[in-house]
Every structure is written in structure tokens, then in C-alpha cells.
Amino acid sequence: MKLRAAALLVIFCLGVFTVSTVRGSAGSQPMRRFTCVTLSTQKVDIRSLVNYEKQHVPVNAVMFITAKGFKICVSPEQRWVQAAIKKIDQKRSRKGK
């Protein structure tokens, strides 16, 4: 009887350890729902952009998010992209004050 209880306890502990390990590794890193694979070549109106995310894999890109929730992937080397990032950062710093 004691051997059976010990075996059940070991199996239970292994199950808890496995679940906590899986949750910890997946939950500790936010998963992106949208990843840039191709880049748009068209310039976007900076005034319609509200946020951005930088991405390095699978391609080096900036994902802009518009006020309507559209996601647009562009090359970070373009001048207008750098100006848009600067403007969004300035808006953020003003809101934080």
C-alpha cells in the first residue's frame, strides 16, 4: 500500500512539474500574433500611425499600427519610417508627463 501511494505521489509531482515548466516557458515570452514576412514599399501617412514594434526575425522590419488597427510592415532604413518612429515616441513621452 505504501509503495502504491509513493508511486502515485511521484506521478503527481512529475505532472505538476511538467505543467509548470510548459506554462513558464510559453507564458514568459509573449507570442506575436502577426509577424512581418514581406515589406510594404508605400509611404503611409504618419498622422494615422499610433504605435510600432521593431522586428528582426524573419526579416528586419518595423510594424506600424494605425488608429484603425491595421498593421503595416516596412523597412526601418527608410527616412519617413525613422521620422514616424520619432513622432510616435514623442507622443508617448508627452503622455507620460
Residue that the C-alpha cell 502515485 belongs to: 8
Q: Give the domain extent around 47.
A: 32-97
The verdict on 45 and 65 lying in the same domain is: yes
24-73 pLDDT, tens digit per residue, is: 444 444 545 678 999 999 999 999 999 999 999 889 999 999 999 999 99
The verdict on 63 and 83 lying in the same domain is: yes
The verdict on 49 and 85 lying in the same domain is: yes
d(CA 73, CA 55): 9
Look at 56 and 5; give whichever has higher pLDDT: 56
The verdict on 48 and 95 lying in the same domain is: yes
The verdict on 26 and 69 lying in the same domain is: no
Split into its structural domains, the chain has a count of 2
The verdict on 58 and 47 lying in the same domain is: yes
Q: Specify the DSSP element, H or E, that contains 72.
A: strand 71-74
Report the predicted TM-score, pTM, of the whole model to 2 decimal places.
Answer: 0.62
